Structure 1
Amino acid sequence: MVFTLEQHDTHSYRRKARMISFAMAGQLLIFGMLFSMLLTSTFGNSLWLYALGIFLGLLATSALFAVLRERPWMTEMRYVWQLKQHLSQISGYLPTLRRAVDDDNKAALNILTFYHQGVTQLAELNGRSPSQDTVWVAEANHIKAKREALGLSPRVDTFDSQDLHAFKRS
């Protein structure tokens, strides 16, 4: 699956993320209390019925969220979830990719460049500054220098998860 980095307004994303988080927590609270109340009023008081009610509330909240996930106003949320999924997928291959970069493997360079850009964008969307870790910055500079030496573009805005299959997970 090909994934492309997109530009999203950070303030809009954070506002929507906060709003959706509060709405989800509220729904879970209401559904959990409602199901617990219905179960205990029907079958009597029991800790297990309260727990079952909360679990059913969680299931109902998850089902409602799964339906709403495809709505147009959830575009930024969907994008960030997909970005996190792809970055997580790449992180499992990082040791192998780093070794391949030392061998001037262009596919590994592209994937690691995308990874660094994605992590930076994710940090900015969440209102944090990009990593100032010296190892992280050194790796980014090393990749940038390798790309320049090989005559490659400094940015990679697309990632195809099929490209990872050429590398063995470490």
Structure 2
Amino acid sequence: MVFTLEQHDSSKYRRKARMISIAMAGQLVIFGMLFSMLLTSTFGNSLWFYALGIVLGLLATSALFAVLRERPWMAEMRYVWQLRQHLSQISGFLPTLRGAVEEDNRAALDIVTFYHAGVAQLATLNGRTPPEDAAWLAEAKYLAEKREALGLPARVERFDSQDLQAFKRS
């Protein structure tokens, strides 16, 4: 699956994320209370019926969220979820990828460069500053120098998860 970095307004994303989080929490509370009330009024008071009502509320909220997540107004949220998923997938291979970068493996160089760009974008979308520790900045500088020496473009905007398959066997 090919994933491409997109530009999104960070304040708009954070506002939507807050609204959606509050709405989902509210739905969970309402559904949990509703199911608990229905179960206890039908079968009598029991801690297990209260707990079952909360679990049913969680399931109902999850089902509603699964239906709504494909709506156009959820585009920013979907994008960030996919970005996090891909960054998480890459982070599991970072030691192997960094070793391959040392050997001038262009696929590994592209993946690690994409990882740096993705982490920086995710931090910006969440209202934080991109990583500024010495090791992170040194690696970013090293990657930029290596890309320049190999005649590769400075940025990588696309990531294909199939590219990681070569590093699974390593």
Q: Which letter does structure 2 place at the counterpart of 1:11? A: S
Unaligned segments of structure 1, at least 5 residues: none
Q: Which residue of 2 aligns with 1:48?
A: 48
Q: Measure, in 1, the Cα distance between the counterparts of 2:93 and 2:59.
A: 33
Using the alignment, how far apart are the partners of 2:28 and 2:97 within structure 1?
A: 41
Residue of structure 1 in register with 2:111 after alignment:
111
Deviation at 1:168, TM superposition (A): 2.6
Q: How does 1:151-170 map onto structure 2 within 5 Å?
A: 151-168=151-168
Deviations 1:27-58 (A, max 9, x none): 00000000000001111111111110000000
Residue identity opposite 2:133 in structure 1: D
Instruction: Tell whether the 8 Å contact from 1:92 to 1:169 is kept in structure 2 after alignment.
Output: no
Q: Offset of 1:92 from its aligned partner?
A: 0.7
Structure 1 residue 122 displacement after superposition? 0.2
2:168 partner SS: coil
Specify whether residues 130 and 109 from structure 1 end up closer, same or farther in structure 2 by C-alpha distance, changes over 3 A only: same
- In the alignment, the residues of structure 2 paired with residue 35 and residue 141 of structure 1 have an alpha-carbon distance, to the nearest angstrom, of 55
| AA matched with 1:83 | L
TM-score by length of 2: 0.98
Within 5 A, what are the aligned runs for 1:53-92?
A: 53-92=53-92
Residue 129 of structure 1 corresponds to 129
Q: Which amino acid aligns with 1:22?
A: I
SS at structure 2 position matched to 1:50: helix
Runs of 4+ in 1 over 6 A off after TM superposition: none
Aligned residues: 170
Would the aligned equivalents of 1:3 and 1:159 in 2 still touch at CA under 8 Å? yes
Instruction: Output the CA distance in 2 between the equivalents of 1:141 and 1:53.
Output: 54
1:131 is displaced (CA, Å) by: 0.6
Percent same amino acid at aligned positions? Answer: 79
**2:7 corresponds to which residue?**
7
Query: In structure 2, what is the equivalent of residue 26 of structure 1?
Result: 26
Any idea what SS the aligned residue of 2:3 has?
strand
Secondary structure of the residue aligned to 1:167 is helix
The one-character-per-residue Cα deviations of 1:74-125 (angstroms, maximum 9, x if unpaired) are 0000000000000000011000000000001000000000000000000000
